[in-house]
Amino acid sequence: MGLSVAVALTDGFVIAFAVAAAHAFHLFVRAGVGFGTWREPASFVIALAWFGLLRLGDNRSSVRIGGPDDVKRVITATLSVFGLATIVTLFLAVDFGRDQLMIALPLGLFGLLLSRFGWRVGIHRFHAHGVLRTPVLVVGNAESARNLATVLDGDVIGEYRVAGLYLVGDARPSVLDWSQRELVPVYWGTDDGIIRAVEECGARAVAVTASEHLAPEFIRQLTWSLEEHDAQLIVSPGVTDVALPRMLLRSIGNVPLLYVEPPRHSRANRLGKALFDRLFALVALTIASPLMIAIAIAIKLTSRGSVFYCSERIGVSGRPFQMIKFRSMFHGADKQVFSVIDAHGGHRDQLLFKLQNDPRVTKLGRVLRRLSVDELPQFLNVLKGDMSVVGPRPPLGREVAVYTPDMRRRLLVKPGVTGLWQVSGRSNLTVEQAMQLDQYYVDNWSMGFDVAIICKTFRAVLSRHGAY
């Protein structure tokens, strides 16, 4: 049974239940007041129209189920059906529409949205296990095709599974090495061989990325050819690390143009974010104060030294500040940092040096780090204005000293108590991954983005993945 059929069956059950509940309410609660022989067929017509409108906008893409567009479609279809039903009942001067509006509308809408959410969670879990993924043929030059294929394969909850690469132009050994490692077949030639490759690898979608060999006329011809094979066409514009809210697609004549807004990092220091940061920090400190008192007492009783550990970090515009944390290491451990780096084969100027079993961490400190509660005092830095609730990881001065110009973009905003690095693997991330995530945040900041990261932080802390 296909995914769209399964979703349709769920919709049908929810709609039938909602309409039947409204009908039962009129029959048993209102004792059939105004009941007529036309009520059953009218209820059936409403249910059929409701289901039909949902199916008209149906999309086979599993990624869209439960997404913003899908939710909008469900709400629009529901309100359209009941708006029309209300107009008809008012015109006919009958009492039929009241029960449907009171019972079927809210019950059905809630049920449909809840089922969409359930499908979305389930689909993401299926995708994470490699199930329900659409096989895709990636088309482009060697470098761009390999990059897009890597992104698609690296998206653990994504919709697509790379079924093959079709290289238009040269075939570099690095691409062939990647395909052999991932057990993906590689085809190359001119654009007229793409359909043959689609048939051979069983692709249900073709993703076209940057290549000087693919003309606009080719895209149109490929669209027609794929229509005959019931396959999707995906075109990558070659723009990376740009969030959707910054992109706008418009058409001039018959040429689609992609507009990309400039980064929003300059807004991150404005009043709205600063006010949100301080209010959130105040609430967080108030709620966590009993826990923080207990942690302070435990630290004092289990090891020698102060309760708090202050470390100089580099903030917005390169200004240093003292970041506050609960002490999780033995007293004087910061003086041993270079000896620990040398002992474990590291470099003194390397970025993000962190050991999974650092000998300087106390027994209590390991627990605090695993639960991420050692960072609670950083909300004091947020109240002072040195940090934000969400932002890049607070860097050390020796790290900033070796930053490249691209890395220094992290200093355009305040460092955060949490951030993309916190919800994307924390200490398990490589230097390149952590830097890329921070740069992405700087360029694509928004209040909605902050709220989403905060929500994901709670899940990351509970999972304790990458915390040490």
- Ramachandran assignment for 169, one of left (phi > 0), alpha (psi -120 to 50 degrees), beta (any other): left
Looking at residue 231, what is its pLDDT?
A: 85
Asked if 230 and 205 touch (Cβ cutoff 8 Å), the reply is no
Confidence of residue 298 (pLDDT cuts 50, 70, 90): very high
Confidence of residue 348 (pLDDT cuts 50, 70, 90): very low
Quick check: is 276 in a domain? yes
Identify the domain boundary among 238, 253, 275.
238
User: Are 278 and 406 part of one and the same domain?
Assistant: yes
Question: d(Cα 361, Cα 357) in Å, to the nearest integer?
Answer: 8
User: Are 116 and 146 part of one and the same domain?
Assistant: no
Question: d(Cα 467, Cα 461) in Å, to the nearest integer?
Answer: 8
The mean pLDDT of 158-185, rounded to a whole number, is 70
Q: Give the CATH number for residue 198.
A: 3.40.50.720
User: Are 279 and 424 part of one and the same domain?
Assistant: yes
Residue-range definition of the domain harbouring residue 205? 134-238
Quick check: is 123 in a domain? yes
Asked if 331 and 303 touch (Cβ cutoff 8 Å), the reply is yes
- Residues 92-145 have pLDDT tens digits of 666 555 666 778 888 989 999 999 888 888 877 776 666 778 889 988 887 788
The mean pLDDT of 357-370, rounded to a whole number, is 82
Asked if 10 and 115 touch (Cβ cutoff 8 Å), the reply is yes
- Residues 49-84 have pLDDT tens digits of 889 888 876 555 555 676 777 888 888 888 888 888
Confidence of residue 280 (pLDDT cuts 50, 70, 90): very high
φ, ψ at 59 (rounded to 5°)? -130, 130
3-class secondary structure per residue, the chain:
CCHHHHHHHHHHHHHHHHHHHHHHHHHHHCCCCCCCCCHHHHHHHHHHHHHHHHHHCCCCCHHHCCCHHHHHHHHHHHHHHHHHHHHHHHHHCCCHHHHHHHHHHHHHHHHHHHHHHHHHHHHHHHHHCCCCCEEEEEEECHHHHHHHHHHHHHCCCCCEEEEEEEECCCCCHHHHHHHHHCCCCEEECCHHHHHHHHHHHCCCEEEECCCCCCCHHHHHHHHHHHHHCCCEEEECCCCCCCCHHHEEEEEECCEEEEEECCCCHHHHHCHHHHHHHHHHHHHHHHHHHHHHHHHHHHHHHHCCCCCEEEEEEECHHHCEEEEEEECCECCCHHHHHHHHHHHCCCCCCCCCCCCCCCCCECHHHHHHHHHCHHHCCHHHHHHHCCCEEECCCCCEHHHHCCCCCCHHHHHHCCCEEECHHHHCCHHHCCHHHHHHHHHHHHHHCCHHHHHHHHHHHHHHHHHCCCCC
Highest mean pLDDT among 128-132, 190-194, 309-313: 309-313
Quick check: is 243 in a domain? no
User: Are 213 and 348 part of one and the same domain?
Assistant: no
* Percent of all residues in the chain with a pLDDT value above 70, rounded to a whole number: 77
User: Are 83 and 146 part of one and the same domain?
Assistant: no
Question: d(Cα 389, Cα 382) in Å, to the nearest integer?
Answer: 7
**pLDDT > 90? residue 358:** no
Highest mean pLDDT among 96-100, 120-124, 344-348, 388-392: 388-392
* Percent of all residues in the chain with a pLDDT value above 90, rounded to a whole number: 16
Residues shown for the chain: 468
User: Are 315 and 412 part of one and the same domain?
Assistant: yes
**pLDDT > 80? residue 461:** no
Residues 6+ apart with CB under 8 A from 433: 424, 425
Confidence of residue 285 (pLDDT cuts 50, 70, 90): very high
Highest mean pLDDT among 143-147, 165-169, 208-212, 454-458: 454-458
Residue of 122 and 15 predicted with greater confidence: 15
- Please give the mean pLDDT across all residues of the chain: 79
User: Are 317 and 394 part of one and the same domain?
Assistant: yes
Bridge partners for 134 per DSSP: 160
User: Are 214 and 151 part of one and the same domain?
Assistant: yes
Identify the domain boundary among 111, 128, 145.
128
Confidence of residue 265 (pLDDT cuts 50, 70, 90): low
Question: d(Cα 458, Cα 462) in Å, to the nearest integer?
Answer: 6
User: Are 312 and 373 part of one and the same domain?
Assistant: yes
The mean pLDDT of 3-20, rounded to a whole number, is 87
Identify the domain boundary among 96, 128, 160.
128
Looking at residue 382, what is its pLDDT?
A: 96
Quick check: is 261 in a domain? no
Residue of 447 and 129 predicted with greater confidence: 447
User: Are 193 and 295 part of one and the same domain?
Assistant: no
The mean pLDDT of 358-375, rounded to a whole number, is 85
Quick check: is 393 in a domain? yes
Looking at residue 14, what is its pLDDT?
A: 92
Quick check: is 246 in a domain? no
- Segment among 69-73, 218-222, 414-418, 460-464 with least mean pLDDT: 460-464
Confidence of residue 45 (pLDDT cuts 50, 70, 90): confident
Looking at the structure of the chain, the number of domains it has is: 3
| Sign of the four-CA dihedral 190, 194, 195, 201 | positive
User: Are 334 and 394 part of one and the same domain?
Assistant: yes
φ, ψ at 420 (rounded to 5°)? -60, -35
Looking at residue 331, what is its pLDDT?
A: 75
**pLDDT > 90? residue 429:** no
Quick check: is 247 in a domain? no
Amino acid identity of residue 118, one-letter, is G
Looking at residue 361, what is its pLDDT?
A: 80
Among 387, 465, 384, which Cα is nearest to 429's?
A: 465
